[in-house]
Structures are given as structure tokens and as C-alpha cells.
């Protein structure tokens, strides 16, 4: 069960001052992390209520790993902790945008790239790596 309130109406959800995230049927909310200084999109992940609450409380990004079915403190093993500079929620409170400063080597991707979005999709559908 979520520790967050439910918005009583559309006006409160869209214009109110209370954080009332709308988690999906699996208890998750979409989260996009961008670099606080450059604006570069670093990664997309999911948060459950606990991950969102821990991110708010600690100032470091926490996510929920669907493949491992567990809470994930970004950088706990890699050193690439993401320090949150700002967090925003979209108009209907079903997606989170966090502006972060990556620690460690500055990367965000488990494959070793700075961003998880390191491949360009060509017009023919082929992928090309871009650092």
C-alpha cells in the first residue's frame, strides 16, 4: 500500500500542492533521469512507492527493478550514485522526472555508457552506438 495520498479530484491532481502519484496496476510509476548540468537523458526506470519515498528522503535516486523484483539504490554497487538536484512530476502525476548529478565515473548505464540511450536508430532500423 502506498504511503502517498490519492488526489480527491482532477483539480487537486493537476493543480494541487500535494504529491499524489498515480502508480500503475503493478504499483509502479515511470521515472526519467537527466543530468542536472547538461540536460542529457541518462536513463529511464520504474519507481514503486518505496523507491519514490526513499528518493525524496535521501536525495539519492532509488528505483524498482522489475527483473529482480526489488528496490534498487542507483550506484550502491557501481559507485554511480545519482544525487537528486530537482524532482518534478507530470501534470497527471503518473511520471517522474529527476535531475541528477551522477557520482563515480559519471555514467548511468550498466553497459558502461554515460547514458542508457547510447544507440541511434537508423532509417533502416539498424542501431549505431554513439558515445
The pLDDT, as a whole number, for residue 1 is 47
Q: Please indicate, yes or no, if residue 93 is contained in any of the structural domains.
A: yes
Provide the pLDDT for residue 112: 86
What is the per-residue DSSP string for 6-71? Answer: PPSSHHHHHH-SS------TTS-EEEEEEETTT--EEEEEEE-HHHHHHHHHHSB-EEEETTTTEE
With respect to residue 74, please indicate whether it lies within any of the assigned structural domains. Answer: yes
Q: For residue 60, is it within any domain?
A: yes
| Residue 1 domain flag | no
Tell whether 57 is covered by a domain: yes
Residue numbers of the domain that contains 47 = 10-129
What pLDDT does 100 receive?
98
Is 4 within a domain?
A: no
In a domain, 3, yes or no: no
The number of domains in the chain is: 1
CATH number at residue 86: 3.10.20.810
pLDDT at residue 2 in the model: 61
Residue 2 inside a domain? The answer is: no
Residue 97: its pLDDT value, please? 98
> How confident is the prediction along the chain (131 residues), in pLDDT tens digits per residue?
468 999 999 999 999 999 999 999 999 999 999 999 999 999 999 999 999 999 999 999 999 999 999 999 999 988 999 999 999 999 999 999 999 999 988 889 888 899 999 999 999 999 999 87
Amino acid at each position: 500500500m502506498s504511503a502517498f495520498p490519492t488526489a480527491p479530484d482532477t483539480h487537486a491532481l493537476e493543480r494541487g500542492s500535494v504529491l499524489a502519484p498515480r502508480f500503475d496496476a503493478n504499483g509502479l510509476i515511470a521515472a526519467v533521469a537527466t543530468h542536472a548540468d547538461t540536460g542529457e537523458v541518462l536513463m529511464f526506470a520504474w519507481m514503486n512507492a518505496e523507491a519514490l519515498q526513499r528518493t525524496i528522503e535521501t536525495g539519492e535516486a532509488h528505483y524498482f527493478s522489475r527483473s529482480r523484483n526489488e528496490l534498487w539504490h542507483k550506484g550502491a554497487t557501481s559507485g554511480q550514485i545519482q544525487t537528486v538536484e530537482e524532482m518534478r512530476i507530470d501534470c497527471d502525476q503518473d511520471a517522474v522526472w529527476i535531475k541528477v548529478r551522477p557520482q563515480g565515473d559519471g555514467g548511468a548505464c550498466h553497459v558502461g555508457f554515460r547514458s542508457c540511450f547510447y544507440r541511434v536508430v537508423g532509417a533502416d532500423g539498424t542501431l549505431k552506438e554513439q558515445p
